[in-house]
Amino acid sequence: MEVILKEDVNNLGHRGDVVKVADGYGRNYLLPKKLAMEANAANKAVIEQMKASAVRRSAKEKGEAEQLLTQLNDVALVFERKVGENDHLFGSVTSADIAHGLETKGFNIDRRKVHLDEPLKSLGEFLIPVKLHREVTAHIKVTVKAEEAAAE
């Protein structure tokens, strides 16, 4: 089945692309979630208008992302976590934690844009990529340190 993508879909294509997908994937996932529409003659005429507006929208989003990039590169987040022996963390720092930390500093970033291969489970400093746009990626300095023990 051929579909026209209305939005960027990871590992498939970008907005406005005509792609060939399995019938079930198109019918059960892409079409109901309004991520794509069937590629027929009428829709192919509409796609030209969509591509023009997509180029304008993408340029605007990229400009906003580059502006945000300059602000985010100076941001450093510090997380305190309980540790056991050998500096082993109880719990971890996840992309949701990082997104929440950015939100407290005034940046509204979706947790799915924080690219963490796996949660941070050790102490130290990490450089975490945040994909703001298809072509713009910021790197945030995240420090995980031991929580201070309460006075006994």
| Residue 84 belongs to domain with CATH number | 3.10.430.100
Domain assignment present for residue 67? The answer is: no
Q: How confident is the model at residue 14 (pLDDT cuts 50, 70, 90)?
A: confident
**pTM exceeds cut of 0.85:** no
For the chain, give the percent of residues with pLDDT over 70. Answer: 97
Q: What is the tally of structural domains in the chain?
A: 2
> What's the whole-number mean pLDDT along residues 80-101?
85
Domain assignment present for residue 10? The answer is: yes
- From the list 64, 37, 60, 65, the residue with the least C-alpha distance to 50 is 37
Regarding whether 135 and 92 lie in a shared domain, the answer is: yes
pLDDT of residue 149: 59
Question: Cα–chain-centroid distance for residue 91?
Answer: 23
Domain assignment present for residue 152? The answer is: no
- From the list 101, 124, 99, 135, the residue with the least C-alpha distance to 114 is 99
What is d(CA 53, CA 71) in angstroms, rounded to the nearest whole number? 28
CB 60 within 8 A of CB 78: no
Regarding whether 52 and 16 lie in a shared domain, the answer is: yes
Regarding whether 94 and 140 lie in a shared domain, the answer is: yes
Which range (30-34, 49-53, 121-125) has the least confidence? 49-53
Last residue of a domain, one of 13, 43, 62: 62
pLDDT of residue 32: 93
Regarding whether 133 and 81 lie in a shared domain, the answer is: yes
Domain assignment present for residue 68? The answer is: no
Domain assignment present for residue 87? The answer is: yes
Show the CA angle centred on residue 69, arms to residues 68 and 70, nearest 5°.
90
Regarding whether 84 and 50 lie in a shared domain, the answer is: no
- From the list 83, 82, 119, the residue with the least C-alpha distance to 99 is 119
What is d(CA 12, CA 19) in angstroms, rounded to the nearest whole number? 8
Regarding whether 142 and 78 lie in a shared domain, the answer is: yes
CATH number at residue 44: 3.40.5.10
The pLDDT tens digits of the residues spanning 55-85 come to: 888 888 888 888 888 888 888 899 888 888 7
Which residue segment(s) compose the domain that 114 sits in? 73-146
Regarding whether 116 and 87 lie in a shared domain, the answer is: yes
| Average pLDDT value over all residues in the chain | 85
The pLDDT tens digits of the residues spanning 16-32 come to: 788 999 999 999 999 99
Q: How confident is the model at residue 152 (pLDDT cuts 50, 70, 90)?
A: very low
CB 115 within 8 A of CB 129: yes
Instruction: Evaluate if residue 151 carries a pLDDT over 60.
Output: no
Domain assignment present for residue 50? The answer is: yes
CB 146 within 8 A of CB 126: no
